[in-house]
Amino acid sequence: MFIFASFNTIATMETNLTPEQSLKVIDDMIRQAKRSFHRISFYFLLWGVLLIAAMLAEYIMTRMGNPPHGASWGVAGIVGGVISSIHGAREGKREGASTAMDRVILWLWAAFVITMLITIVGYGVSGGGTPSGSIMVLTGLPTFVSGQLMRFKPLIVGGLLFWVLGAFSYFVDPGVITWLYIGAMLFGYVIPGYLLKRQEDGLRTA
Amino acid sequence: MAFAPLDPILHNQLRLAIMSLLVAVEEGDFTFLLEKTGATRGNLSVQITKLKEAGYIHVQKTFKENYPNTVCRISPKGLKAFETYVKAIKDYLKN
Write the ipTM.
Answer: 0.86
Contact B37 A29 (CB under 8 A): yes
Torsion of CA B31, B33, B39, B42, to 10 degrees: -60
Contact B93 A3 (CB under 8 A): no
Q: How far is A108 from chain B (nearest CA, A)?
A: 17
Note which residues in 17-56 of chain A have CB less than 8 A from chain B: 17, 19-23, 25-26, 28-30, 32-34, 36
Q: Nearest residue of A to residue B28 by CA position?
A: A97
% residues pLDDT > 70 (chain B): 96
Chain B contact for A12, CB < 8 A?
no
Contact A2, B91 (CB under 8 A): no
pTM: 0.75
b/e per residue B16-41 (b: at least 16 CB within 10 A):
bbbbbbbbbbebbbbbbbbebbebee
Q: How far is B58 from chain A (nearest CA, A)?
A: 14
Q: What confidence score (pLDDT) does residue A138 get? A: 94
Q: Nearest residue of A to residue B2 by CA position?
A: A2
| Amino acid at site A108 | L
| Amino acid at site B76 | P
Burial of A164 (0-12, 13-18, 19+ CB in 10 A): middle
Q: Which 3 state secondary structure label does DSSP give B36?
A: helix
Q: Nearest residue of A to residue B29 by CA position?
A: A96
Domain ranges within chain A, ordered by starting residue: 39-205
Spatial CA neighbour of B60 closest among B20, B83, B90, B30: B30
pLDDT(B25) > 70: yes
Q: How far is CA A159 from the centre of its chain?
A: 10
Spatial CA neighbour of A146 closest among A34, A73, A39: A39
Q: Nearest residue of B to residue A26 by CA position?
A: B20
Name A147's Cβ contacts closer than 8 Å, sequence gap at least 6: A153, A154, A155, A156, A157, A158, A159, A192
Q: What confidence score (pLDDT) does residue A73 get? A: 81
Domains of chain B plus CATH, in order, are 13-76+83-94 (1.10.10.10)
Contact B32 A22 (CB under 8 A): no
Contact B20 A97 (CB under 8 A): no
Strand order in the sheet with A97-98: A97-98, B27-29, B67-74, B57-64
Alpha-helix residue ranges (DSSP H) falling in chain A: 2-13, 19-34, 41-63, 71-94, 100-126, 132-150, 153-169, 174-185, 191-205
Axis crossing angle, helix B13-24 with helix B41-53, rounded to the nearest 10: 70
Chain B contact for A98, CB < 8 A?
yes
Q: What confidence score (pLDDT) does residue A1 get? A: 36
Contact A15 B23 (CB under 8 A): no
Burial of A53 (0-12, 13-18, 19+ CB in 10 A): middle
pLDDT, averaged in runs of 10, over chain A (206 residues): 39 62 90 77 94 90 78 86 90 79 90 89 77 90 94 94 94 88 94 91 65
Q: How far is B88 from chain A (nearest CA, A)?
A: 9
Contact B13 A26 (CB under 8 A): no
Chain B contact for A104, CB < 8 A?
no
Contact B21, A27 (CB under 8 A): no
From B11, B24, B86, residue closest to A10, measured CB to CB: B11
